[in-house]
Amino acid sequence: MCFKQKVLFIIILYFAVIFNSSAQPISVIEEFTIKPGLCIVEEGKPCKQSFIFSWRLRQVIEACLYRGENNQSLHCASKKKVEVTLFMDLNLSDQFFLRVNNNQAQQDILVRQLTRDVRQVRRHVWSVF
């Protein structure tokens, strides 16, 4: 490759990287988590527990937390970093959304029911006891 071809190749590569990275919109939401993300209950009983919802934004702007497709917000805050504890009563797994302007992030809380089979002690075939 001659010098002109190398320079042309570097320029094309440079613009490809610049335009590719600028084509993707940067989300205002840096992080959105729910702890714990799993609730284990006895069969037929609801999950009644406190959950910690936390998020971090790139700038100070109002963000609201929603449960499922419900349009009523659970909590709103105008901070870069938020951590809120909410007591939830869940019968089934549910989705939670953090909405900021046109951006949205989703996290799920999974509800798993223990059945009798799961709690039985299983012995290996080769076990003496």
Domain-wise residue ranges, the chain:
27-118
Indicate the pTM of the whole model: 0.68
The pLDDT of residue 23 is 46
24-74 per-position pLDDT tens digit: 457 889 999 999 999 999 888 899 999 999 999 999 999 999 998 888 899
Please give the residue that has the higher pLDDT: either 20 or 94: 94
The fold of the 27-118 domain, in CATH, is Immunoglobulin-like (2.60.40)
Q: Concatenate the DSSP letters of all residues of 47-81 into one string.
A: EEEEEEEEEEESSS--EEEEETT--SEEEEE-SSE
pLDDT (average), residues 9-38: 74
Three-class DSSP category at 126: coil
Place of tokens 């937390």: 65
Give the span between the Cα atoms of 46 and 43, in whole angstroms.
Answer: 9
For the chain, the average pLDDT equals 82
